[in-house]
Structure 1
Amino acid sequence: MAKKKKSKKEKQSVAVNKDAAISRFRNRIMSDETVKYIYSEKESILHDKHCLYAKEIPDSDLFYEKQYLPSMKQCPKCALRAYISSGAKDSQNISMYLKLFKQFQIKLKQIRHMYIDCGMQTEAFPNMMMVWDREDAWKIQPIRGRGQVCLYHNNYHINEEGKRVFDKGFHIQSEYLSRTTIDKALEAIETYSYSKHRSAAKVNSKLTNESDKEAAGFAANKRVKGLLEKVRGWFAAWNTK
């Protein structure tokens, strides 16, 4: 017995149900906070899931990711938001990041390097941005003069075992970094190593001690020389009598 062909009305009903199922799939992706990126396998361009261009991807060709894929080409339309989503603890606070980044005069490639290449994490506040990189925490604060920032580093002390113990509060990392540019601040964070920092501090301390000894020796020699001059003066005065 031959199969009965579906009427035009039945075909439309099937299409509507299919679209509804696909729509539920997309809605599930959009409502899942752990999903951050979507892409089309045909184009292999990574989008932040809120990107306007991502809406053009058919649901049948839609793939999603929870982690950033560095090897995939990034959509330029949503690049900034995609980078922030990868490392910001408060990625929903996009407006504050835009304000801070404008004050920092930071370039998009620097933002990518900070989040994607270095894996730094951040949190934005009205007057500064917190940065976490490996063990250490930092604060980058914009100061007067657009493009100028001050870099702060977390406080710590050394315990009896010679290990670092982190304390509350921050200190300006150095006089040089008290008024610098965002690229120099990020470079200082990226290249920071406590062991190297401690070795450099020991060398500086040794040089300071040697300099102090030289200064003390110079002062002592000066006092001896002055005393000899006085003795010569006494002998000269005695011989004239």
Structure 2
Amino acid sequence: MVPRNYHPLNTRKIMYKLQKSKMNTENDSSAKTSQIFSDYYRRRQSLMDNPHNKFAFSREKRIIHDRECHLVKRIPDEQFEMLTEFDEEMAPCSACYRRMLIRSAFVNQHRKIGLYVKFFDKIGCGNRKLKKLLFKTDTQLIDVGIDDLTIKVNEDTWFLQICNDVLDLYHNNYSVNDDFTRTFTSGYHLQNVYKNPKYFSCAISEIMTYSWNVHMQNSKGSAGVTYFEELKSKFNTVNNYKQVKESQYHATFHFLDYNYQAIQFIAAEDIIFNIRGQLDCDFIGRDEPYSLFQCRVKKSDVPAFKHAMKLLKDRAYSAKEYEYIEACQLL
């Protein structure tokens, strides 16, 4: 017996409605997800479009990169952040560290970053000295060409030009006032000439150590004093070794070797010694001609060891290894 108002169920229609409802739910979910990723991507592009944002990093890994580093592409959009200033507390990317140091010292010259890198490579300026120049002084990179660089350090502007394996260092012109202050004028005058490419990076040292007050004192006292003579006077007051330990029969030293010549000077003094190995040091770069070692000698041989170190220091100065002289002051 069939009820009067009975209607058979249309199962196909019911299944169609269920499937349609499920598809609408999935489409809404995917639309929301794509909207989120689209927002992250637009935010990333907005940060990259700002030329003042020089450095990029991931909020998760906290490794800072140059904005043009190839590893920046691996940072997910949702983790992407940028900075206008180099953060020394963050771990730097080893692949673009040199470019980050250079980019930190100029504004709106992103297209010339490659020229800056090539010029500092050409003069042999290592990352240690480059960081000291750009972070320890008030430095601004003004302009760069294939063989020239204009740079402002503190109050003074310098122009470096390479021609036929000779580096000419020019200094901005100025007039001296009655109270021994300066009034800057247009143009440059020749400050120094470096005729050996091996010593081109010494021009950066001269720029960093220049002081108008010291220059005036030297001009009043002995007008012939040069930058390198000033270095030598400092060199005579510092040692290239430091005693770190002493026992009943032995003394242990840290010494700064130059081109691995220390052993021949120590051996020439007929000293019984034991070199314990090379030490890591934050002021010595990979491309420097000197390195830090630890050595143990008998207490009776300490005077002979110090004499050998003095001969090594004199050899470095006669070879015009001025960076070795600077490093001794940091020992």
Number of aligned residue pairs: 200
**Residues 55 and 84, structure 2, Cα contact 8 Å, conserved in 1:** yes
Residue 108 of structure 1, CA deviation:
3.1
In the alignment, the residues of structure 1 paired with residue 138 and residue 110 of structure 2 have an alpha-carbon distance, to the nearest angstrom, of 15
Task: Give me the TM-score of the superposition, normalised by structure 1.
Answer: 0.74
Could you give the per-residue CA deviations for residues 146-188 of structure 1, whole angstroms, max 9, x where no partner exists? Answer: xx522111111112343201111111214xx443623311111
* Structure with the higher fraction of residues in strand conformation: 2
The one of 11, 28, 37 aligned to 1:10: 28
Residue 48 of structure 1, CA deviation:
1.4
* Structure with the higher fraction of residues in helix conformation: 1
Structure 1 segments of 4+ aligned residues over 4 angstroms from their partners:
none
Partner of 1:113: 132
SS of 1:201's partner is helix
In the alignment, the residues of structure 1 paired with residue 147 and residue 69 of structure 2 have an alpha-carbon distance, to the nearest angstrom, of 28
- Percentage identity across paired residues of the two chains: 24
SS of 1:160's partner is coil
SS of 1:7's partner is helix
Task: Give me the TM-score of the superposition, normalised by structure 2.
Answer: 0.55
In the alignment, the residues of structure 2 paired with residue 169 and residue 194 of structure 1 have an alpha-carbon distance, to the nearest angstrom, of 18
The one of 162, 165, 179 aligned to 2:195: 179
In the alignment, the residues of structure 1 paired with residue 89 and residue 124 of structure 2 have an alpha-carbon distance, to the nearest angstrom, of 27
Q: Which range is displaced more, 37-46 or 194-203?
A: 37-46
SS of 1:172's partner is strand
C-alpha RMSD of matched pairs (Å): 2.4
How do 1:51-70 residues align onto structure 2 when only pairs under 5 Å count?
51-70=69-88
The one of 155, 162, 170 aligned to 1:142: 162
Residue 114 of structure 1, CA deviation:
2.3
Could you give the per-residue CA deviations for residues 83-113 of structure 1, whole angstroms, max 9, x where no partner exists? Answer: 2211134232123224323421322333333
Establish whether residue 100 from structure 1 lines up as the match of residue 119 from structure 2.
yes
In the alignment, the residues of structure 1 paired with residue 114 and residue 67 of structure 2 have an alpha-carbon distance, to the nearest angstrom, of 17
How do 1:38-53 residues align onto structure 2 when only pairs under 5 Å count?
38-53=56-71
**Residues 103 and 142, structure 1, Cα contact 8 Å, conserved in 2:** no
In the alignment, the residues of structure 1 paired with residue 138 and residue 61 of structure 2 have an alpha-carbon distance, to the nearest angstrom, of 26
Establish whether residue 193 from structure 1 lines up as the match of residue 211 from structure 2.
yes
Rate the CA distance shift 1:60–1:205 in 2: closer, same or farther, 3 A: closer
Residue 119 of structure 1, CA deviation:
4.0
